[in-house]
Structure 1
Amino acid sequence: MDLRLLIFPLLVFLGGCCYGPSSPTIKLAYAAGYSWTDVVMSQYFYGWLILFVIVAGLFILRFIRKQPTVPGKNPRPLLRSIPGLALAGTCIALVTVTYCLSLQTVPAYISVILLFQFTWMGVLIQAIIEQRLPEPKMILAVVILVIGTFLALGFAGLDGPLDPVGVIFGLLSALLYAMYMFILGRFEIGMHPLNRSFLILSYALLLLTFLFTPAYFMQGTFVTGIWQYGIILGSIGCILPMCLFAIAAPRISTGATIWHWPSGSMTRRCTQLDRDCPTAWLEMNKKDAAKLGIADGEKVLLSSRRGEVAVAARVMEDIKEGVFFMPFHFIEARANLVTNTAYDPVSRTPEYKVCAVKVTKQEA
């Protein structure tokens, strides 16, 4: 079994667990006399500041080592990323707002339980948008989660009824979190996790500054004692979960895809599988794409001495520079048109796995 199938869901789980220690920290900030707006702004301001230092430090290190960065000759990829990443930033900012509002009236552990309802909400959102029912094992997992939630609330030892407003805010934070996870898996998945997290955090901070006015900065709140809470919340409430989700949410396996069997003659007859993975793509390193002037999603022409095929580019950080990868399941974009037909004289296995190719941007 591919361990990545276990590692990446674990990273998502760990990202959600980061909100566990966030709850008592927020409660301590409330006890110290700070408002929920002060707490939210501190979390995102100090989280953004820490991540800025990390990203800037890595950039300077690359510059000192004379490692080339992706040139900015073509501004389209960054501009095209704004809507999706801004939407993700909006969702995660509102998650924190609603979560902090929930913590004002309900116990910290109850807010955490309510927030973790994002798991089944995410399944529901995916089912609605993709217009298909979830798999039976997914439905079973949701049922177990809901039962576990009721059991947790029943054994929580509550002194009285929960405040309905706090519960509503807690569930709303879960819904927004599920939307955030859904967006992460579909926008700018080839971008480096640190850069992606920094842009999302920047959009979130801009939104919160606009919503709560610049009073947090103009009145000097950010330099008072709240900085100690802001650093903790910024680290475990912003940077860690964002980076973990940016790494885990969009990841797929390399080599043959998880959706289709080699030629797709059977698996492409399955509506669900063909809907999830409908067409081929060509993976390439970000540096190679920059040298060739190719943006993520653009059509390219993959050619060799034996043939050529047109396919959409998928610009990524994970693939080695100078190497291209293309799945071979799709008859409308046959990878074997460019591979070598030579075969091993003993095993009689064709050399379909590797060959020299040329990649060019396909003009409209």
Structure 2
Amino acid sequence: MKGYIYVLLGAVSYGVLSTFVKLAYKDGFIVNDVVGIQLFIGALLLWGGVLLNKSMKSKTQKKSVKPNKKEILLLTVVGSTTGLTGMFYYLSLQYISASLAIVLMFQFTWIGVLLEAVINRKIPEKGKLLSIIPLLVGTISATNIYSTGLSAVHWLGFLFGLLAALSYSIFILLSGKVAVQTNPILKTAFMITGGFIVCSLILPPTFFTNGKLLIELALKFGFALAFFGPFLSTLLFSKGVPLVGSGAASILGAMELPTAVLMSVIFLKEHIGVSHYVGIILILIGISLPGLLRKKEIQTI
């Protein structure tokens, strides 16, 4: 039961981020600083967790696997994809609503299926192929394109949302294959550090040359974004996923979608129509379908 709670809370904590970002934009902060402060403080929190964990390990005399130089380099490279995911996602929030941005972000599910098929040169499982249908139909319904047309959605917001989904798909494919025996906190600390470096090169933060801005941004939004994003979610998923398995985790992790939408309605006063709710339900069905079909097949064996 603990594993399910960990994963659900991890997904919920990710879901609140878009609302904080929208509020930061409303308060006059720019995307460079919002992305930078989240990754910067997130990296500091994670490295603090690494030091604390190391201290606790020394007392209990438990050994942990340390990554070698090659693995550290690979972790920072993989981390660049999670940094780019946040960057593209937050860029999309400048042009479209939080409820639409999270729907586009969730296209990583079917994009991941296609990337996996190309890499492995193998046709995906029946459940994964079937899941693409409700995912795509749900996306069309949630964006309401069939009645409003593409002109109603800012093309940059749409593009950045899909780029975030693509980047996240790549992150999922790579992260599970690098330094698998390394402590989750240490592994994530390297990845978030890599993400911060890459994003800072693309969108240089301005708060390093403005102490007042750094303090104001950190106190208003930085600590919240870093805590709920790179830090808390990472810890909860690292604890929960091994207990429930990747299949159940992917289903429970979908709670991020309704959380983001609910937060946007309550705090951002965004209007959500019936078609949007129908689309969200279809997307959740699409995410759950492969795991449910796999579970059914196992029970019939």
Q: Does 1:222 align with 2:222?
A: no
1:60: how far off?
A: 2.3
Matches within 5 A, 1:198-277: 198-213=189-204, 215-220=206-211, 221-243=213-235
> Is the Cα contact below 8 Å between 2:100 and 2:143 reproduced in 1?
yes
Q: Which has the larger share of helix?
A: 2
Q: Does 1:171 align with 2:175?
A: no
Equivalent residue number for residue 41 of structure 1: 36
> Is the Cα contact below 8 Å between 2:32 and 2:205 reproduced in 1?
no
> Is the Cα contact below 8 Å between 2:64 and 2:183 reproduced in 1?
no
Equivalent residue number for residue 84 of structure 2: 94
Alignment counterpart, residue 67 of structure 1, candidates 61, 72, 94: 61
Q: Does 1:23 align with 2:14?
A: no
* CA pair 173-15 structure 1, distance change in 2 beyond 3 A: farther
Matches within 5 A, 1:143-154: 143-154=133-144
Q: Deviations over 1:293-337 (max 9, x none)?
A: xxxxxxxxxxxxxxxxxxxxxxxxxxxxxxxxxxxxxxxxxxxxx
Unaligned runs of 5+ in 2: 246-301
- In the alignment, residue 41 of structure 1 is paired with which amino acid? G
> Is the Cα contact below 8 Å between 1:99 and 1:169 reproduced in 2?
yes
Q: Deviations over 1:50-90 (max 9, x none)?
A: 22222222222333x26254598xxxx42120232122211
Aligned residues with identical type, % of pairs: 28
Q: Which has the larger share of strand?
A: 1
Q: Does 1:52 align with 2:52?
A: no
* CA pair 114-127 structure 1, distance change in 2 beyond 3 A: same
Secondary structure of residue in 1 paired with 2:177: coil
Q: Give the Cα separation in 1 of the matches to 2:115 and 2:163.
A: 14
Higher CA-based Rg:
1
> Is the Cα contact below 8 Å between 1:186 and 1:250 reproduced in 2?
no
Q: Deviations over 1:211-267 (max 9, x none)?
A: 4446431222321244331111112222234445556779998xxxxxxxxxxxxxx
Q: Which structure 1 residue ranges, 4+ long, deviate > 3 Å from structure 2?
A: 13-19, 68-72, 155-160, 209-215, 240-253
Aligned length: 243
* CA pair 176-18 structure 1, distance change in 2 beyond 3 A: farther
Q: Give the Cα separation in 2 of the matches to 1:237 and 1:164.
A: 27
RMSD: 3.3
- In the alignment, residue 102 of structure 1 is paired with which amino acid? S
> Is the Cα contact below 8 Å between 1:89 and 1:200 reproduced in 2?
yes
1:195: how far off?
A: 1.2
Unaligned runs of 5+ in 1: 254-364
1:207: how far off?
A: 2.4
Q: Give the Cα separation in 2 of the matches to 1:172 and 1:240.
A: 24
Equivalent residue number for residue 322 of structure 1: none
Q: Give the Cα separation in 2 of the matches to 1:18 and 1:150.
A: 26
Equivalent residue number for residue 187 of structure 1: 178
Q: Give the Cα separation in 2 of the matches to 1:250 and 1:120.
A: 24
- Bigger CA drift: 164-173 or 240-249? 240-249
Secondary structure of residue in 2 paired with 1:105: coil
Alignment counterpart, residue 119 of structure 2, candidates 114, 129, 134: 129
* CA pair 53-31 structure 1, distance change in 2 beyond 3 A: same
- Bigger CA drift: 184-193 or 208-217? 208-217
- In the alignment, residue 138 of structure 2 is paired with which amino acid? G
1:14: how far off?
A: 6.4
Q: Give the Cα separation in 2 of the matches to 1:118 and 1:170.
A: 10
1:191: how far off?
A: 1.2
- Give TM-score scaled by structure 1 length: 0.59
- In the alignment, residue 237 of structure 1 is paired with which amino acid? G
> Is the Cα contact below 8 Å between 1:86 and 1:204 reproduced in 2?
yes
Q: Give the Cα separation in 2 of the matches to 1:136 and 1:182.
A: 19
Q: Give the Cα separation in 2 of the matches to 1:250 and 1:183.
A: 18
Q: Does 1:114 align with 2:133?
A: no
- In the alignment, residue 35 of structure 2 is paired with which amino acid? V
Q: Give the Cα separation in 2 of the matches to 1:140 and 1:191.
A: 35
Q: Deviations over 1:10-45 (max 9, x none)?
A: 94x865554421111101000111000110011111
> Is the Cα contact below 8 Å between 1:18 and 1:241 reproduced in 2?
yes
- In the alignment, residue 109 of structure 2 is paired with which amino acid? T
- In the alignment, residue 47 of structure 2 is paired with which amino acid? F
Q: Give the Cα separation in 1 of the matches to 2:65 and 2:153.
A: 54
Secondary structure of residue in 1 paired with 2:68: helix
Secondary structure of residue in 2 paired with 1:224: helix
> Is the Cα contact below 8 Å between 1:36 and 1:100 reproduced in 2?
yes
